[in-house]
Chain A
């Protein structure tokens, strides 16, 4: 059910985008680019990144126990939550959306990949 809800959210947020075809497998494949720095399990920060468990809808730069960059803390002041739309913009080009971010991802240019990984992350609440 979580995946279906996430897909609906993403569709609402990206009104101009075609209906997303998302599934955990596609999202998990994209997430492989993230696992070097991010865990998906709750409370599992690494030295390089906060856990992404439940990141969709979570306050920006607010995962307990992770030392966020000044750039992301500043960004959070005007972008309080990781909505699907905000995640979509950020993942497309992290360094353009948050200059000074310490995240190493060069960006996901393919909108379908972004939709898939956002849906996967939204479904992460099922992972305990």
Chain B
């Protein structure tokens, strides 16, 4: 509870005009290296708050919930966590024996949709009743290591499994189809573009793939950097695909209309870019594990703004948000960081 008590105090100090404990986010090249383990508490930017979640949760992914609530997957506790950022209160919904949820998104029905590796199932949690409904993968796809999901415009949920699969569930009929990635192991992040196309990336396969939403066929798109380890993908408002390259240590953009790629590398000797998310202003957010930080990249100016983890080994594995807010699950610290980006 230390953190929950400390952060409002920090914010209060900041609002009173002091910069002793908090400061504006600064461009990356004006910052010191990431704090070493057991260093003094990190001074967080003024637009940041940090919330504790139950110990041992390992919050893996986050998503906007109803109202101002924030959902997260408690991967170690087998829960959907529900954070109220106005009070810091957390409530948990247990997903079932053996659950180890990875991804969570909000569906068009307003419910939480979860890719649960432990249950090897797609799970829906009703936001009004907490009712949990489970769609298990077909028996021929056991232990698929389910990862992430995205909805298409037809209301079907597409998902990836790291053992080498991707699939589609129509919640209305219950029909589930599963396909094998042409290159095997690795499907990780998945996203829908504004025009409704579905793309996913493969970490072990180092490729981007566009999925035909009717036939399920995947067309592979090879980034120019070999062996880059494409981990997550997100689309901006123009439909460009932004890819976080783990092994390549850089952020890349693919423009479907021209087939062109362009890449940007954060500063650092051994960069590891894990998550990517494009916010409502087309700012591109990535987590860079080599620096233990989240970076906001402005494509217009090509400048990076750095948000340090709230402690060593914050391990932010995914980013999501809503207009004016960005959510960062610090899986290594059992904390959720919330960044205010709008007025």
Q: Is the CB of A99 within 8 A of B37?
A: yes
Q: Is the CB of B185 within 8 A of A106?
A: no
> CB within 8 A of B142: which of A32, A47, A48, A70?
A32
Chain A residue numbers with a CB within 8 Å of B100 are: 106
In the bound assembly, the distance between CA atoms of A109 and B75 in angstroms comes to 14
- With A95-B332, A106-B58 as contacts: A32 and B163 at CB distance below 8 Å: yes
Q: Is the CB of B185 within 8 A of A35?
A: yes
**Majority SS of interface residues in chain B?**
loop
The answer to whether the Cβ of B320 comes within 8 Å of any Cβ in the partner chain is no
Chain B residue numbers with a CB within 8 Å of A102 are: 272, 289
Q: Is the CB of B76 within 8 A of A48?
A: no
**Majority SS of interface residues in chain A?**
loop
Chain A residues 35 to 83 lying within 8 A of chain B, measured CB to CB, are 35-37, 46-48, 67, 70
C-beta contact mask, A90-101 vs B, less than 8 Å → 1, else 0? 000001000110
Chain B residue numbers with a CB within 8 Å of A100 are: 37, 312-313
Chain A residue numbers with a CB within 8 Å of B37 are: 99-100
Number of interface residues of B (CB under 8 A): 29
The answer to whether the Cβ of B246 comes within 8 Å of any Cβ in the partner chain is yes
Q: Is the CB of B204 within 8 A of A36?
A: yes
* Residue picked from A29, A36, A46, A67, most chain B C-beta under 10 Å: A36
Closest partner residue, chain B, to A100 (CB atom): B313
Chain B residues 200 to 251 lying within 8 A of chain A, measured CB to CB, are 203-204, 206, 227-229, 246-247
Chain A residue numbers with a CB within 8 Å of B228 are: 47
* Smallest beta-carbon distance A103→chain B, Å: 11
Chain B residue numbers with a CB within 8 Å of A25 are: none
* Smallest beta-carbon distance B323→chain A, Å: 30
* Smallest beta-carbon distance B52→chain A, Å: 17
Q: Is the CB of B332 within 8 A of A36?
A: no
The answer to whether the Cβ of B270 comes within 8 Å of any Cβ in the partner chain is yes
> CB within 8 A of B143: which of A29, A46, A106?
A29
The answer to whether the Cβ of B294 comes within 8 Å of any Cβ in the partner chain is no
* Smallest beta-carbon distance B161→chain A, Å: 8
Chain B residues 288 to 314 lying within 8 A of chain A, measured CB to CB, are 289, 312-313
Chain B residue numbers with a CB within 8 Å of A35 are: 145, 162-164, 185
Q: Is the CB of A36 within 8 A of B270?
A: no
Chain A residue numbers with a CB within 8 Å of B270 are: 67, 70
Q: Is the CB of A48 within 8 A of B229?
A: yes
Chain A residue numbers with a CB within 8 Å of B65 are: none
Closest partner residue, chain B, to A45 (CB atom): B227
* Smallest beta-carbon distance B316→chain A, Å: 13
CB pairs A–B below 8 angstroms (12 shown): A35-B145, A35-B185, A37-B162, A46-B203, A47-B203, A47-B229, A48-B203, A48-B247, A95-B315, A106-B58, A106-B75, A106-B100
